[in-house]
């Protein structure tokens, strides 16, 4: 069913693999250093230097297919590259392919006005600024986006935004200059037309980044996850995206590709975990035997490979379906990948930690931080339970249709 990798993608994959070996892995610990006392939320000269090198080699905006600023790749093509850059949590930002900026650039490219693109999309594509996406709220179950309580109220030629958000990835960064905020603009409208999305400069009066949030102790500088308060923030009406009441529609359009991008990267992360697991098992001995010679360890390695290949094929199928049938038609494939891939990746990393023993729990290896990231994504972009529910509804609908067809 799947196409072979085309020459262009194969060439980019080779360059990306070489770049990772030469520049990313040797600098990974420094790039991901959680303990920087000063300038935690500032991008280091090392990151900026590597970004310049990546851009010079044409390894920039690899995801972007809306214009000449990217490589014009399909989802299926990008999957093969994302698997490589996903091997390190430090890599996506080096190539300007990091969340949430990728999703925000997709929103601006698809739904933004010319003025919005000039002000925000252009510098994001250039890597001059960062952005955040403010949707989740601490006071309500935000897995149901219709619950959100942040207010977006019209006042003449402006809107006034008030509310509290959290898990706003990227908001801690000094380079974060704009937030895409989802809020309720019309409580009397139909349920899925009550929400709007609006662009808010992070330096606007009333915007307050209250605190960083950690995932199992990791705060992920320089981007971070933040709790952000919007206190009577006034912005021009021209900052609304697509129009009043279109927020839910935009969210659905953004989250589908974002979910599959995470899955693509996790394939690479799990692949690296298996490699490290095998290396550790061959290097260590216990109770008179090499770990790799122990049946229990070999069973674990075999199971990891089996699960990873299932996850890889599921992700490729979702990307393939998105290219051929569109994101909406591929929603079931995206949902299945979103459920399966982070869970499997987390299990593989957890087994790698176990084989590493106490070392696997430390920051001497990439495994602990990788585990925290994969566990986070079982909730981020919608918890697994929401996607299972949507899949069940679709499956039951098909079953009803089959029954009706057979009865006629």
Domain ranges of the chain: 7-126, 130-245, 249-407
CA distances from residue 95 to 14, 127, 296 in whole angstroms, order as listed: 15, 9, 39
Average pLDDT over residues 333-355: 97
Q: Look at the block and give the residue holding tokens 């509310």.
A: 163
Determine the pLDDT at residue 29: 94
C-alpha torsion angle, residues 360, 366, 372, 377 (rounded to 10)? -140
Does residue 252 or residue 166 have the better pLDDT? 166
Distance CA 31, CA 47 (A): 7
Q: Is the pLDDT of residue 301 over 90?
A: yes
Q: Is the pLDDT of residue 259 over 90?
A: no
Q: Look at the block and give the residue holding tokens 């490290």.
A: 276
CATH code of domain 249-407: 1.20.140.10
Q: What is the pLDDT of residues 75-100, one digit of tens each?
A: 999 999 999 999 999 999 999 999 99
Positive/negative CA dihedral, 71, 75, 79, 82: positive
Average pLDDT over residues 205-209: 98
Positive/negative CA dihedral, 236, 242, 244, 245: negative
Determine the pLDDT at residue 37: 65
Determine the pLDDT at residue 145: 86
Average per-residue pLDDT for the chain = 95
Distance CA 63, CA 211 (A): 31
Pick the CATH number of 7-126 from 1.10.540.10, 3.90.79.10, 1.10.150.130, 3.40.50.300: 1.10.540.10
This prediction's pTM? 0.93
Q: What is the pLDDT of residues 126-184, one digit of tens each?
A: 999 999 999 999 999 988 889 999 999 999 999 999 999 999 999 999 999 999 999 99
Does residue 357 or residue 251 have the better pLDDT? 357
Backbone angles phi, psi at 151, to 5 degrees: -100, 135
Distance CA 389, CA 385 (A): 6
Determine the pLDDT at residue 35: 76
Structure-block tokens of residue 4: 């072979």
Distance CA 256, CA 288 (A): 50
Of all residues in the chain, the percent with pLDDT exceeding 90 is 89
Mean pLDDT lowest among 31-45, 207-221, 381-395: 31-45
* Residue 97 DSSP label: -
Distance CA 377, CA 315 (A): 15
Structure-block tokens of residue 190: 């139909």
Determine the pLDDT at residue 335: 94
CATH level 2 (architecture), domain 130-245: Beta Barrel (2.40)
Average pLDDT over residues 352-357: 97
């Amino acid at each position: 069913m799947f196409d072979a990798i085309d020459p262009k993608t194969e060439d980019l994959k080779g360059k990306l693999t070489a770049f990772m070996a030469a520049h990313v892995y040797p600098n990974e610990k420094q790039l991901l250093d959680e303990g920087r006392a000063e300038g935690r939320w500032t991008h280091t000269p090392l990151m900026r230097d590597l970004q310049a090198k990546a851009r010079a080699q044409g390894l920039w905006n690899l995801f972007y297919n809306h214009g000449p600023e990217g490589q014009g790749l399909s989802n299926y093509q990008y999957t093969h590259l994302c698997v490589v850059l996903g091997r390190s949590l430090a890599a996506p930002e080096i190539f300007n392919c990091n969340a949430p900026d990728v999703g925000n650039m997709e929103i601006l490219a698809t739904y933004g006005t010319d003025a919005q693109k000039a002000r925000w999309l252009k510098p994001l594509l250039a890597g001059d600024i960062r952005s955040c996406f403010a949707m989740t709220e601490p006071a309500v179950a935000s897995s149901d986006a219709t619950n959100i309580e942040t207010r977006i109220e019209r006042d003449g030629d402006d809107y006034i935004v008030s509310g509290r958000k959290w898990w706003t990835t990227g908001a801690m960064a000094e380079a974060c200059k704009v937030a895409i905020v989802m809020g309720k603009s019309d409580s009397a409208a139909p349920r899925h037309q009550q929400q709007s999305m609006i662009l808010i400069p992070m330096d606007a009066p009333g915007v307050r980044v209250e605190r960083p949030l950690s995932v199992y102790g990791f705060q992920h500088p320089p981007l971070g996850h933040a709790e952000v308060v919007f206190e009577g923030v006034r912005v021009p009406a021209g900052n609304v995206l697509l129009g009043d009441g279109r927020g839910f529609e935009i969210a659905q359009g953004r989250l589908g590709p974002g979910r599959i991008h995470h899955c693509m990267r996790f394939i690479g992360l799990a692949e690296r975990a298996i490699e490290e697991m095998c290396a550790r098992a061959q290097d260590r001995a216990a109770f008179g035997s090499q770990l790799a010679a122990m049946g229990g360890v070999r069973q674990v390695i075999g199971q990891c490979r089996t699960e990873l290949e299932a996850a890889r094929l599921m992700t490729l199928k979702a990307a393939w379906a998105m290219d051929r049938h569109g994101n909406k038609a591929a929603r079931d494939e995206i949902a299945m990948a979103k459920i399966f891939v982070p869970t499997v990746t987390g299990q593989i990393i957890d087994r790698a930690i176990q084989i590493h023993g106490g070392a696997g729990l430390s920051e001497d290896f990439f495994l602990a931080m990788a585990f925290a990231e994969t566990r986070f994504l079982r909730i981020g972009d919608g918890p697994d339970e929401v996607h299972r529910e949507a899949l069940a509804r679709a499956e039951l609908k098909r079953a009803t249709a089959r029954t009706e067809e057979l009865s006629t």
